[in-house]
Amino acid sequence: MHPARTARLLVSLAVVAGAAAFLPTAAAGVPIAADSGARAVVRDVNNTSLGVVTIQSTRDGALVISGRLSGLTPGFHGFHIHAVGVCDPAAVDAAGNVVPFVSAGGHLNPAGVGHGQHAGDMPLLRVSQDGTTRTTTESDGVTFADIFDADRGAFIIHAAPDNYANIPARYVSTTTSLPGPDAATLGTGDAGGRVACGIITRS
């Protein structure tokens, strides 16, 4: 090779190598490959798609949950991962009543702890006046192994806000007359009915 061309090649390689030293590398909290993710198409009781929620694994083992949804009632809504991946808007409860999406079971809670600490507990959704919301949260309290057990899991959006069972002892339950939260609050955070559901599947 001509000496001048050899010199130009060596300079070019040096520039590329120098630039590579300044490229950002994956760090803790940064999502990794798409094959380590999951997604759910969230639908209301009329089977209308409200949007998609995705789950992405990170380098440090946490999960990043992100979604962009529309068609919801303005205000705050409870938002959870539930224990069963079945979204039946005509599901029937143990008493024979039609309860939309009761088929998704309770909150994902493999550790059997109280509400507010469930693996499936997510931050509230804040829906704007136009019915849209975006959410992104990182959690190290839930894993893909928790979600993709034998009956998988589902995202549920509730009709009302979730209080995460944060009822101080100075308040008295109207059902038990005891201080603090009652059994229903400890189980669901009083988030009300289920208005939308999305089965979680691998990306």
Distance CA 55, CA 14 (A): 39
Phi, psi of 12 (to 5 degrees): -60, -45
The residue-averaged pLDDT of 181-190 equals 88
The residue-averaged pLDDT of 11-35 equals 41
The pLDDT value given to residue 7: 39
pLDDT band at 32 (very low <50, low <70, confident <90, very high): low
pLDDT band at 35 (very low <50, low <70, confident <90, very high): low
Q: What is the mean pLDDT of the chain?
A: 86
C-alpha distances in Å from residue 72, one per residue of 69, 89, 125, 132, 161: 8, 16, 10, 7, 13
Work out the burial of residue 140: count CB atoms within 10 Å of its CB; fewer than 13 is exposed, 13-18 middle, 19 or more buried.
Answer: exposed
C-alpha distances in Å from residue 114, one per residue of 89, 131, 146, 171: 27, 31, 17, 18
Element (H, E) at 18: helix 3-20
**What confidence tens digit (pLDDT) does each residue in 88-123 have?**
999 999 999 999 999 999 999 999 998 999 999 999
In sequence order, which residues have a C-beta less than 8 Å from that of residue 120 and are 6 or more positions away? Answer: 80, 81, 82, 83, 107, 108, 109, 142, 153
**What confidence tens digit (pLDDT) does each residue in 134-150 have?**
999 999 999 999 999 99
Phi, psi of 184 (to 5 degrees): -65, -40
The pLDDT value given to residue 174: 79
Find the largest Cα–Cα distance for the chain: 93
Give me the domains of the chain, ranges plus CATH numbers. Answer: 27-202 (2.60.40.200)
Phi, psi of 185 (to 5 degrees): -65, -40
145 dihedral zone (left: phi>0; alpha: psi -120 to 50; beta)? alpha
Distance CA 108, CA 106 (A): 6
The pLDDT value given to residue 31: 56
